[in-house]
Structure 1
Amino acid sequence: MGKLGLTEILVIVAIILLLFGGKKIPELMKGLGSGIKEFKNAAKDENQPAAAKKEEEKI
């Protein structure tokens, strides 16, 4: 019950294409990719020690 078969995936893709159109999907994926990239950068910045953050702010 938890697995998606090929038929279900194809139906979902077809519905997405109908809703957004072929031209809009690349724009959505580009926005999603940049959002993920920003999230990773923010998460990496969170892991840095406070002293390293202060040094970056001075520069």
Structure 2
Amino acid sequence: MYSPVLLELFNIGGPEFILILFVALLLFGGNKLPELARGLGKGIRDFKDASEGVKREIHNQINSFDEKPSEPEYRNNYNTDTETDTHNSTAVSEEHEKAETSVKKEY
């Protein structure tokens, strides 16, 4: 009927709990009391669901930070083929010249 944890939380004993139920019965009546209990139960359930959702979201965020991002793969760019090296160096120098001219045009 009642939760021992709740009673320990508020330091309520058996006689005090029965007195509280009796006063509630007098105030709200026998017909209204079950409706209030259902509403209270639904509110508590919604609160627990919301708190579980928040906990789940926090754990998901923590777990996403724990995962290391994938390391980029490094390729060996050292070729012994001189033709490829010459082609790469000219392509890089052309890109460098284009970048310099575009920067000069902006100023």
Q: CA RMSD in A?
A: 2.0
- What residue in structure 2 maps to residue 19 of structure 1? 27
Which residues of structure 1 form unaligned runs of 5+? 51-59
Fraction of identical pairs, as percent:
44
Displaced runs of 4 or more, over 4 A: none
Ranges in structure 2 where 5+ consecutive residues have no aligned partner: 1-10, 62-107
Q: TM-score scaled to structure 1, two decimals? A: 0.62
Match for residue 57 of structure 1?
Answer: none
Higher relative contact order (CA closer than 8 Å, sequence separation 6+): 1
TM-score, normalisation: structure 2: 0.38
Match of residue 53, structure 2, among 38, 45, 54? 45
Computing the radius of gyration from Cα coordinates, the structure with the larger value is 2
